Structure 1
Amino acid sequence: MRVRVEIHNDTLSPWEELASHEQATAELKGRIGAAGVFVGTMRDFNEASDVIAMHLEHYPGMTETHLERICAEAGKRWELLDTLVVHRVGEILPAEPIVLVAVWSEHRKDAFEACRFIMEDLKSKAPFWKKETLTDGSARWVEKNTAGY
């Protein structure tokens, strides 16, 4: 199974990332029966407050290693051909994409379940730190991430 993990400091264009990645993995095209794709974007509210911006921090090296481990675990649980995780850090505004998780497999069940597994683990355990700026100009750190079931 192939795994690609990237952290971006600038704008994330998930559909361009997908197109570019699929071109680079042309040798898998005949084997792929399903792709599971999740794109997460920033909301303009959180915890009953309006949010105008978010600063997302990570620990370089540790974050990528954690994301690679999540993908490897997914590859043990499901039959996957390829996995892509691209996550944004830095200053992010509402409606901007934050994360892309994509998996390719021979069967849809594997693609659906692995994509969700990776995203839920990423959201609840990956080493990212969020600082939100509220409409009144104040800022707050988001204390914890939780699984979004």
Structure 2
Amino acid sequence: MPAERNVLAILFRNFLKSITPNRPSGNLVGSDHFGNKYYEAPADPSRGKRHPRRWIDPAGQQFDQEMPAEWEAWLRRRRAQPPTDDEVARNRAIMELKKINAAKLAEQRGEVSEPAKPERPSAFPVWEEYEVEPGQKNSKYKIK
């Protein structure tokens, strides 16, 4: 009989674990100007975890939002220490200055700063004898 009670207790415990949110425990390391928060759980070699676990808690519900390059490098373990706010701000200022200088240079050369969009996407071949829209011949687009 004790084995049955043990099985029921295990089932009940697993059921409770499945409905409670599984939030990993870790230390808040920092945040960026987008509002993202970065966490780290230290490595535990006794449990077989050689590297610290790092993750991001995004500010919004979007997972494809922007992230500073310094924080991304820290998340991917390309750097050991998290970036400082001064370092992120300095690199952001350099990035903005490069954008301004590129726009000025393009203006001096008389170039269009935004790339021109093609008139028609070339996903499929276009033949002269076929119509693109009903009633219109296709003399503008030809395959050579």
Indicate whether the TM-score tops 0.5.
no
Question: Greater helix share, 1 or 2?
Answer: 2
TM-score when normalising by structure 1: 0.25
Task: Kindly indicate whether structure 1 or structure 2 has the higher relative contact order, using CA contacts under 8 Å at least 6 residues apart.
Answer: 1
TM-score when normalising by structure 2: 0.26
Greater CA radius of gyration, 1 or 2?
Answer: 2
Question: Greater strand share, 1 or 2?
Answer: 1
